[in-house]
């Protein structure tokens, strides 16, 4: 499976997870990463809360973020009125969500991997909890 199709599959998976909850809806953003405007991979929301999500799928190793990629998520989220998040699907442990401001504070040199996912991120179940 190509990297692109693996990423698309992960995006569809997270959309299904949101829809399976009682109150959340989600959609993939067509053309994210291929146009001049800032965009994210998935927009999810429920009454009173919206998430702008950049999705990544990691099978092994570490994942690093560029400042430009993170800034695009922030720019889109600010204009859309949503919370900016990065969601990473790690093999064997599942999805973890990282607030973009936390990722930026840690610096673009910080790697994200299954060992530190629980330290810096929150699970899918935590992200959908009532606030």
**pLDDT on residue 1:** 59
Please tell me the total number of residues recorded for the chain in this structure.
131
Q: Active-site residue 32, yes or no?
A: yes
Give CA torsion, residues 49, 95, 74, 69, to 10 deg.
Answer: -160
Return the domain boundaries, the chain.
3-127
**Residue 21: CB partners within 8 Å, gap ≥ 6?**
128
- Of the residues 8, 9, 32, 59, only one is catalytic, namely 32
- Please state, in angstroms and rounded to a whole number, the distance separating the CA atoms of residues 65 and 124: 20
The domain over range 3-127 is classified in CATH as 3.40.1350.10: yes
**pLDDT on residue 118:** 87
User: pLDDT by residue (tens digit) across 68-124?
Assistant: 889 999 999 999 999 999 999 988 889 999 999 888 887 766 778 888 888 989 999
**pLDDT on residue 35:** 76
């Amino acid at each position: 499976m190509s990297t692109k199709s693996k990423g698309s599959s992960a995006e569809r998976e997270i959309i299904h997870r949101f829809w399976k909850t009682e109150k959340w809806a989600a959609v993939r953003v067509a053309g994210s990463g291929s146009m001049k405007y800032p965009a994210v991979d998935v927009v999810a929301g429920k009454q009173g809360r919206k998430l702008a999500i950049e999705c990544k799928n990691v099978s092994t190793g570490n994942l690093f973020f560029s400042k430009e990629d993170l800034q695009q998520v922030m720019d889109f989220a600010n204009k859309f009125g949503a919370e900016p998040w990065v969601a990473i699907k790690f093999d064997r442990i599942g999805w973890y969500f990282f607030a973009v401001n936390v990722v930026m504070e840690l610096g673009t040199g910080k790697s994200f991997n299954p060992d530190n996912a629980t330290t810096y991120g929150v699970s899918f179940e935590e992200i959908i909890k009532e606030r």
